[in-house]
Homo-oligomer: A and B are copies of this chain.
């Protein structure tokens, strides 16, 4: 059985690339791997990249010397969760408030199964400039 190694790129579609880039740099300190007019790539962790894609700018397939990259686009309030250490969640809350990021809600979950994902956890929810739903969840 073939298995992928993991999620390499996850994408959010944004109205103003510069505004989003500033937000993700200020809040998460992600390193900027690539920054173009149409797309930015931010390093979240080892082998994990967050793509910020300007809405409507990548709809059509793009021919490159190495082949054609299919078009992509999206809208709505997409969801993206990052994991954080449980011991740091309070610091994160303070950190977000200091940067003017409103905490929309806090959620406590009880253990509901054996998977790591179903263990007891706490989450902070807040929005990015486009209204995408970001979550910091303890693991």
Q: Spell out A's residues near B (CB within 8 Å).
A: 1-11, 13, 28-29, 33-34, 41, 43-51, 53, 61, 64, 66-85, 88, 91-92, 95, 104-110, 113, 115-118, 123, 125, 133, 135-137, 139
Copies of the polypeptide in the assembly? 2
Query: Are A47 and B7 also in contact (CB < 8 A) when A74-B78, A108-B67 are?
Result: no
Q: How long is the Cα–Cα vector from A72 to B134 in the complex, in angstroms?
A: 10
Which of B5, B34, B44, B125 sits near A4, CB closer than 8 Å? B44
Q: How long is the Cα–Cα vector from A31 to B79 in the complex, in angstroms?
A: 21
Query: Are A95 and B2 also in contact (CB < 8 A) when A66-B107, A74-B78, A117-B41 are?
Result: yes
Query: Are A82 and B29 also in contact (CB < 8 A) when A64-B107, A70-B104 are?
Result: no
- For A136, the closest partner residue in chain B by CB is B4
